[in-house]
Homo-oligomer: A and B are copies of this chain.
Amino acid sequence: MGSATRPRVVILGGGFAGVYTALALEKALGERDDFDVVLVNRENYFVFQPMLPEVISGSIGLTDMVVPLRRLLRRSAVHVRDVETVDLEARVVSTSPGFRPHPHRVGYDHLVLGLGNVTDFRGLPGLPEHALPFKNLGDALRLRNHVIRAFEEASIENEDEALRRQLLTFVVAGGGFSGVEVAAELNDFVREVASSYRGIDPAEVRVVLVHSQERILPEMAEPLALFAQRLLQKRGVELRLRQRLQSATGTEAILAGGARIPTRTLVSTVPASPHPLLESLPLPKGRGGRLVTTPELRVEGAADVWAVGDCALATTPNGTPAPPTAQHAIRQAEVCAHNIVASIRGGGSRVFDFRGLGTMGSLGRHSAVAEVLGLRFSGFPAWWLWRTVYLMKMPGWGRRLKVASSWTLDLFLPPDLVELRLGGSKGLTREHYEPGEEVFREGDIGDSLYIVLSGEAEVVRGESILAHLGPGEVFGEMALIEHTTRSATVRCLSAMDVLRMPQQEFADLAAHLPDLRASVQKVMEGRRGARTIEPP
C-alpha cells in the first residue's frame, strides 16, 4: 500500500530505538527530502527512562523526564495510537481507533520494529491483578500516588493493626538495575515522608527488595553490587536474596517456598518479555522472544522489516548479543537508519558493532554505582557522574533546564505529597486470593458484587458455615440490594480468582437488564432459604 511516489518508513515504538531511528532518518533526509517518516507510539512523548524512578519521590517535576515527540521530531508524522496488527504481506499497519471507531491503516515501504519489551506477569497468579509494573510514566505516577494514599490511610487507621502493617510495607521484586533504582528511590521517599505524618512511627515503615540470585545488580561487577547492597541495607531496605516472587493477592506478596509478606504495595520489574504484538508476527525469534536480525539489523529473512532496541536480538561481530540498554539502542538506530536510506537511495550498508561504554545505576540520595571504560565508581562520585551524564544526554535544552532547576529546588524543599487522583478503577476488575484470605468480613460495608472465576470459598457467620461457593457463583449481592453491611464473611478455601463489580455498575445493570436482575434474585432466594435453616 506504501505511497506511489515517495517511499514511506514506518517506525513502531517511541523509545530510544524508535526515536533515534527517526532522528537519524530526519537528518539523512536533508535537502533531498525524498521519503516520508511515520512514527507510531502509544504515548505522545518519549520517556527518558534513566530518570523515571525520580518521579516516585517527585525530586523532578512529574513530566520533566519526558519529551513530547513533536518537539523532538520535526519532519516525521507522529501517530499517537496503539498498534493493533501488522500485515507483512500487504505492508500495512493498523492502529487502534481514536475518537471515532473507524479503522486507521498506514502503508509502509520499510517497517522498523522498535517496540521494546514489557513486564509480563502471565503465569504468576495474582500479579496481573495486584502487582504494579514500572515501565512508563503512567506506572511511575500510579506508584507514587498509591504510596501517598497508603500513608494517608495508615495515618488515620488506629484500629486494624494488620491493615496498618500492610499499608506501611512496600515490596519491590527484581534486583536488576530497574528494581534496584525503584527500591532505592522508593525507600528514600517513604522514609522522608513518614516524618510528615502525625501518628506514623518511621520505624513502622518497611521496604523489601526480593531478588532471585545470590546478589543484586547482575549487570555489574561484584564489588559494586556488594557496595549497593550494603548501602541499601544501611538505609533500611530489607534484602531477600535467592528468593522469588511466586504469587500475589491484594494484601500479600507470596514467595516461592511459602513466605508471605503482608503488603498493599507490590512493584515488580520482572519478568520482561517482548511486546505482545511480536508474538503474532511470523518472524524469526531467538532467546527471550526477541527478533533475530542480520548484522545490518534487517529481521532475518525479511527485506523490508528492521528491528532495533530491546525487541531485537542483534549480535555484534564477536558473536555476543547486544544487551537491552539505551546506548545500544541508539547505536542500532543509527545503523538501521543508514541502511534504510542506503536501500532507498542505493549505497553501501553498515553493520552493527558496539561494545558499550559502561553501566550506571542510581542508589538514591547522593549515591550511585558506575563502571565506565573499565573504571569503577561508587558513592558520591558515581552519583555526580550519573547526574551529569544523564542531564547532558537528555534531548533538548528546555528539559535540561527544567530538570536542573527542579534538582536545585529539591535541595531546599521537602518532598511533595500531592496525590493526583485521575479517574479510578471503575468497571469490572479481577482479584486473586490465596487460601485462608477473606474477600470481605461480616460487618463490612457492601460495596461490590463478586463472580467466582475459579477456586472455592466458604460463607461463614460466627462459628457456622452457611454455604460453599465455587466457579460461576455470584456472591455479595445481598448487601448491595438491601443496602446493609455484610451479614457474613467469605473466606477462601483454595486459591481463588474473582470478577468484582462495583455497586454503581451493578445497580445500573440490574436496573436495565431484566435477565440479570432475575438471575440475581434467584440466587438470593436460594440464600434466604439457607439463612432460615442456619443454627440460631
Contact = CB atoms under 8 A, between A and B. Distances in A.
Contact of A472 (B138, B446, B512): B512
A392 interface: no
Given A63-B416, A445-B97, A509-B428, A104 B156 contact: yes
A304 interface: no
B445 A102 contact: yes
B44 A419 contact: yes
Contact of A44 (B141, B166, B417): B417
Interface in A131-181: 137-138, 141-142, 148-150, 152-153, 155-157, 160, 163, 166-167
A423 interface: yes
A490 B249 CA distance: 43
Contact of A103 (B417, B422, B423, B445): B445
A45 B419 contact: yes
A513 interface: yes
A149 B417 CA distance: 28
Contacts of A138: 420-422
Tell me how many chains of this kind the complex includes.
2
Interface stretch (A23-31, A210-218, A295-303, A401-409): A401-409
Interface stretch (A12-20, A65-73, A328-336, A376-384): A65-73
A426 interface: yes
A417 B156 contact: no
A147 B491 CA distance: 46
Interface in A64-88: 66, 68, 70-71, 77-81
A416 B44 contact: no
Interface residues of A, number: 89
Contact of A401 (B398, B409, B420, B485): B409
Nearest to A429: B426
Interface string A506-520: 001100111110110
A271 interface: no
Contact of A68 (B68, B157, B417, B508): B417
Nearest to A479: B101
A426 B104 CA distance: 22
Nearest to A74: B198
Contacts of A388: none
A196 interface: yes
Contacts of A418: 44-45, 63, 66, 68
A419 B41 CA distance: 12
A484 to B, nearest CB: 12
Contacts of A533: none
B43 A419 contact: yes
Nearest to A498: B512
B152 A80 contact: yes
A276 interface: no
A129 interface: no
A62 interface: yes
A424 interface: yes
A303 to B, nearest CB: 27
Contacts of A198: 77
A495 interface: no
A203 interface: no
B167 A99 contact: yes
Nearest to A150: B99
A148 B417 contact: no
Given A44-B418, A61-B62, A440 B101 contact: yes
B102 A444 contact: yes
Nearest to A399: B413
A425 interface: yes
A101 B512 contact: no
A100 interface: yes
Interface in A436-460: 440-441, 443-447, 451, 453
A223 interface: no
Interface in A283-311: none
The 3 closest A-B pairs by CB, nearest first: A427-B427, A515-B519, A68-B417
Given A103-B445, A138-B420, 17 more contacts: A43-B421, A63-B420, A70-B196, A70-B417, A78-B152, A98-B156, A99-B153, A99-B163, A99-B167, A101-B440, A102-B160, A425-B426, A426-B426, A428-B509, A472-B512, A499-B509, A515-B518
20 contacts: A63-B416, A71-B417, A77-B155, A78-B152, A97-B447, A99-B150, A99-B153, A99-B167, A100-B163, A102-B445, A398-B409, A398-B412, A402-B413, A425-B426, A427-B502, A428-B505, A472-B514, A499-B508, A499-B512, A516-B519
